[in-house]
Amino acid sequence: MSITYKDEEGIRGMRVAGRLAAELLDYLTPHVKVGVTTNEIDKLAYDYITEVQGAIPAPLNYQPPGYTPYPKSICTSINHQVCHGIPNDKPLRKADIVNIDVTVIKDGWHGDSSRMFIAGEGSIAAKRLCAMTYEAMWHGIVMVKPGVRLGDIGWTIQKFAESNGFSVVREFCGHGIGKGFHEEPQVLHYGKPGTLEELKPGMTFTIEPMINLGRRDIKEMSDGWTIVTKDHSLSAQWEHTILVTETGYEVLTVSKASPPPPPFVNTLAHA
């Protein structure tokens, strides 16, 4: 499967889908608190996507080759869960960190984004992990412009994460996105400068680093979906959907209440 380059119509569709994903996360934010179950958050998400946004939750019944259908509308990965955690009836506890990963389909286009949340007051280490993972994603995003290679993005994220004492999960990566949930290319969050595909205008893909407090090794749980750290250390992830423009990048998964970019991004923009 080759890379798809979005035309003006496709870009308009991706902007709408991306904004809806961000607005869904805005809607869910006040509900992520101690005592709430991830099943309750999943139900809120399903109702909002289908009834308010007139869209479709892409994860629900999603079935890649070799997998059982994913049973929920969002992914909720808690503490040492790296990704693809399945919502359940266990209440969130004080200091839990949770990644909520959402993908909505609107008029055939996919918008994919995730954010980290802390239930109650998190530990210093947990808060630092979440903040530095957000920065790691943005270090990758600001690299995006025509002529840059995907290896440059991966290397930038890896260098930032590892220089701050964290490790980067290698088995899962960002991906092209559009009419398909997962398209080419794969967007690694580690790598070597000057390698892999060259960025060109019209490409849309996710940048979604998964950063561990401990070692990078992971394992799959018996449900066939949930991925956890082998050493039980905390893991964090943030995700945006990005468009390559003629001169740089556009973040598609933003809304009025989206977390602002880190200060260094604004500094670069005005340099």
Going from the N-terminus, what domains does the chain have, and what CATH number goes with each? 8-269 (3.90.230.10)
**Residue 220 CA neighbour count, 13 Å, CB half:** 8
Judged on CB neighbours under 10 Å (0-12, 13-18, 19+), 256 is exposed
Q: Please report which helix (H) or strand (E) contains residue 235, including its range.
A: strand 235-237
* Phi and psi angles of residue 141, each rounded to the nearest 5 degrees, phi first: -60, -45
Instruction: Check pLDDT > 50 for residue 248.
Output: yes
CA dist., res. 228 & res. 170, Å (int): 13
Preceding omega of 185 cis (within 30 degrees of 0) = yes
pTM for the whole structure: 0.96
How far is CA 215 from each of CA 96, 135, 169, 221, rounded to the nearest angstrom? Answer: 20, 19, 9, 18
Q: What is the mean pLDDT of the chain?
A: 96
Helix (H) or strand (E) holding 59: none
CA-based nearest residue to 102, from 17, 30, 189: 17
Q: In this prediction, what percent of the chain has a pLDDT beyond 70?
A: 98
At residue 1 the predicted structure's pLDDT band, cuts being 50, 70 and 90, is: low
CA distance 96 to 263: 26
- Contact criterion met (CB below 8 Å) for 150 and 196: yes
pLDDT mean over 104-128: 97
pLDDT, tens only, 63-113 = 999 899 999 999 999 999 999 999 999 999 999 999 999 999 999 999 999
Q: What is the dihedral of CA 29, 32, 36, 41, to 10 degrees?
A: 50
Average the pLDDT over 154-173 and give the result.
98
The whole-number pLDDT of residue 269 equals 58
Banded pLDDT at 131 (limits 50, 70, 90): very high
- Report how far residue 38's alpha carbon sits from residue 27's, in angstroms, rounded to the nearest whole number: 14
Give me the pLDDT at residue 271, please. 45
The confidence score (pLDDT) of residue 270 equals 47
